[in-house]
A and B are shown apart, each in its own frame.
Chain A
Amino acid sequence: MMRIWKFGDDIDTDAIIPGRYLTEYDPKKLAEHVFEGTRDDFRAGVQEGDVLVAGRNFGCGSSREHAPLALLGAGVKVVVAESFARIFYRNAVNTGLLPLICPEAGALVEGHEAVVDIADGYIESDGVRHATEAVPPFMQEIVDAGGLVEYAKNMKEVELCTGSHR
């Protein structure tokens, strides 16, 4: 059982991890400053496996991969949001943080317990199931591998201009 940490719209990556800590790359050390100054109770109370739930445009702004790393370092493995900013979404998949789009994320309640079922595509809380969208097919392979490093490390070369699937 995981607990919900609720956030609003347009949570930017500067809020997730401020610019002055970007010389650091270790997820655990980054987690010491996650949401510093914008949501300090999160850092103090987050437990391994808790789920972050947000509104629209989560992870907007800077391309810093320190943002998903800081969340992973804090023990968060899944972020559920109404929508994600493009670079964050991709960085999350690449680093092994699962971003799930959930149009009904607004209905989820801070502090309540939740269960995420990735295979069947929903987050359940307060007895209600809210559908989540799977990542696009080409990114699912990266998710299944556990991130882009695992996906790519045994590749010898890439096939250019292949896989023109929708």
Chain B
Amino acid sequence: MGATLVEKIFSSRCGKEIEAGDVVMAAVDRAMIHDITGPLAVQKFREMNGNVVFDPARIVMLFDHQVPADSIQAAENQKFMREFALRQGIHNYDLREGVCHQVVLEKGHAAPGEIVVGSDSHTCTYGAAGAFATGIGSTDMGFVLRFGALYFRVPDSIRVEVNGAFAPRVGAKDLILDIAGSIGADGATYQALEFTGETFASMPMPGRMTCANMAIEMGAKAGIVPPDAITWKYLKGRRPDLKPFALESDEDATYAEWREFDATGLVPKVAVPHNVDNVVDVEEVAGTHIDQVFIGSCTNGRYEDFVEAAEVLGNRTFSDDVRVILIPASRDEYLKTLRAGLIERFVEAGALVEAPCCGPCMGGAFGLLAPGEVSLSTSNRNFRGRQGSTEAEVYLCSAATAAASAIYGEITDPREVE
């Protein structure tokens, strides 16, 4: 019987046939911990009588949620993690590199066929590189730090097949919002999304990251793009230890569901408060007043997103009525954007550009909203209270829609900006 990509990854790991529904204790290739969920994971590791971590070289540590430390308690947590890394011989990127999911990928810590866990729900982003990657809690992470393995219930897969080419100023974020709106916030619970079709086959890595990132917003355990020439090109130089190999689902693999989407004719999409699957065409909410625009996060904080925003912005300035906050997702993405002259253009136009971090996305550090305020954000969640007050509203969109809206101070269809 044929196997899905995810079944193949687990079968390969265990050297025997593993099917969806099986529960296996599987070794992990990498474990990622950060400043928010890391301290509790370390505490749990110790409570499990952990003394020495399973393999320091397989652990990735960095700080991105509350950096630079925004409170004494955050500073204490980061100090605690630094000391743990030092004692255990774990490489700690500290606050230098940026948002965890971007950094894990750009430093080559996830590759086709690998099993990666992170104590953060958006760990599913690494499916963009053909890895099976999933978010876990701190106690599970404590177990992983101790034993280098974890129980997995191998998920069955929903095949998401997308064909067609995007219209100008429409892209991966609009597509994944469309998919989330269709599948629903719990439509893929305990399942994996396998992203296929000609649209994904020709999609560059940044778009694949955007889509895999939001698999969790449908309840999925993982989102995975079959590795191909684009994947291996991205990994060249990042993973000199690997030679390209084939990894794809069998033609007769069994899927829980097979969903088809068309990129042709897709229009800019917006997720309206307060659920990610509450998705409408931009024209339905055009004209909605906004107080803040955030372009950044692990979903859409890459160089390509800033190129998209700059192309819409042109020589205009942002509305004086809007606080525009731009945060590149990593140091590398920041430098690319900087060297292309885009940072200068954004600052001239009136934006605040912050150093790489999660920023307003999770409402922990800065850029919080007051009651009654409205945010338009390229991040991944619009839950009530996500970016500050529970009486504020968050809308989600692409970088192009965010830039167009920031110019006019209201939600604007980017296709209508000349």
Chain B neighbourhood of A57, CB < 8 A:
185-186, 189, 219
By the criterion CB–CB under 8 Å, are B135 and A158 in contact?
no
Could you tell me the distance between the alpha carbons of A63 and B136 in the complex, rounded to whole angstroms? 6
Tell whether A149 is near chain B: CB-to-CB under 8 Å.
yes
Quote the shortest CB–CB distance from B111 to chain A (angstroms): 20
Chain A residue nearest in CB terms to B362: A19
Would A163 and B40 count as touching, CB distance under 8 A?
Answer: no
B391: which A residues are within 8 A, CB to CB? 37
Q: Residues of B contacting A120 with CB < 8 Å?
A: none
Interface membership of B140, Cβ < 8 A: yes
Interface residues of B in 381-400 (CB under 8 A from A): 381, 383-386, 389-391
Residues of chain B within 8 A (CB-CB) of A154 are 49
- Interface residues on chain A, number (Cβ under 8 Å): 50
Interface residue? B249 (CB, 8 A):
no
0/1 interface trace, chain A 93-105, chain B, CB 8 Å (1 if under): 0110000000000
B13 touches A14 (CB 8 A): no
B363 touches A20 (CB 8 A): yes
Shortest CB-to-CB span from A108 to chain B, Å, is: 20
In the complex, A164→B96 CA distance in Å?
A: 41
Among A10, A36, A63, find the residue whose CB has the most chain B CB atoms closer than 10 A. A63
A120 to B192, CA, bound (A): 32
Which of A21-29, A42-50, A72-80 lines the interface with chain B?
Answer: A21-29
Q: Which residues of A contact B383 (CB under 8 A)?
A: 12, 14-15, 61
Residues of B within 8 A of A83 (CB): 186, 189
Alpha-carbon separation in the docked complex, A4 to B190 (Å): 27
Interface residues of A in 89-144 (CB under 8 A from B): 90-91, 94-95, 136, 138
Which residues of A lie under 8 Å from residue B18 when comparing CB positions? 164
The verdict on B90 contacting chain A, using a C-beta distance below 8 Å, is no
Cα distance A138–B24 in the bound complex, in angstroms: 10
Question: Contacts A152-B143, A161-B24, A164-B18: A85 and B186 contacting too (C-beta < 8 A)?
Answer: yes
Among B21, B27, B138, B275, find the residue whose CB has the most chain A CB atoms closer than 10 A.
Answer: B138
Residue B92, interface by CB 8 Å = no
Contacting pair A62 B362 (CB below 8 A): yes
CB of B127 closer than 8 Å to a CB of A: no
Q: Is the CB of A138 within 8 A of B221?
A: no
- Asked if A161 and B16 make an inter-chain contact with CB atoms under 8 angstroms apart, the answer reads yes
- By the criterion CB–CB under 8 Å, are A166 and B385 in contact? no
Measured between beta carbons, the chain A residues less than 8 angstroms from B147 are: 152, 155, 157-158
B43 touches A25 (CB 8 A): yes
Q: Mark B34-47, 1 if CB is under 8 A from A, else 0.
A: 00110110011001
Nearest CB in chain A to that of B23: its residue: A138
Which chain B positions have C-beta within 8 A of A153?
47-49
B residues near A149, Cβ cutoff 8 Å: 44, 47-48, 139, 142
CB pair B390–A23 under 8 Å, yes or no, is: no
Stretch at the interface among B70-78, B102-110, B407-415: B70-78
Chain A nearest CB: distance from B145 CB in Å?
11
A63 touches B120 (CB 8 A): yes
Judge whether A158 and B25 touch: CB under 8 Å: yes
Q: Which of A24, A64, A148 contacts B140 (CB 8 A)?
A: A148
Point out the residues of chain A lying under 8 angstroms from B13, CB to CB: 161
A69 nearest CB neighbor, chain B only: B40
Q: A20-B363, A148-B143, A161-B14 are in contact. Are A63 and B149 (CB under 8 A)?
A: no
Contact for A136 among B16, B153, B189, CB less than 8 A: B153
Contact between B381 and A166 (Cβ–Cβ < 8 Å)? Answer: no
Q: In the assembled complex, how far is the CB of residue B416 from the closest CB belonging to chain A, in whole angstroms?
A: 32
Which residue of the partner chain, among A64, A86, A90, A147, contacts B37 with CB atoms under 8 Å?
A: A64
The answer for the CA separation of A158 and B148 in the assembled complex, in Å, is: 9
- Please determine whether A63 and B135 come into contact, CB atoms closer than 8 angstroms: yes
* Distance, CA A44 to CA B77, complexed state (A): 29
Interface positions, chain B 48-97, Cβ under 8 Å from A, are 48-49, 65-66, 71, 73-74, 77
Nearest CB in chain B: distance from A60 CB, A: 6
B37 surroundings in chain A (CB, below 8 A):
22, 63-65
A15 contacts across to B, CB distance below 8 A: 383-385, 390
A residues near B378, Cβ cutoff 8 Å: none
With an 8 A cutoff between CB atoms, is B121 at the interface?
yes
Which of chain B's residues have a CB closer than 8 A to the CB of A63? 37, 119-121, 123, 135-137
In the complex, residue of chain B having the shortest beta-carbon distance to the beta carbon of A14: B383
- Cβ of B16 to closest chain A Cβ, rounded Å: 7
Residues in A whose Cβ lies below 8 Å from that of B44 = 148-149
B23/A165 in contact, CB under 8 A: yes
Known: A14-B381, A63-B135, A153-B47. 10 other contacts (CB 8 A): A18-B385, A62-B381, A66-B40, A87-B136, A91-B139, A155-B48, A158-B147, A160-B25, A164-B24, A165-B23
Cross-chain pairs A/B with CB under 8 angstroms, 11 sampled = A12-B381, A15-B384, A37-B389, A37-B390, A57-B185, A60-B185, A63-B135, A95-B139, A148-B140, A152-B146, A158-B147
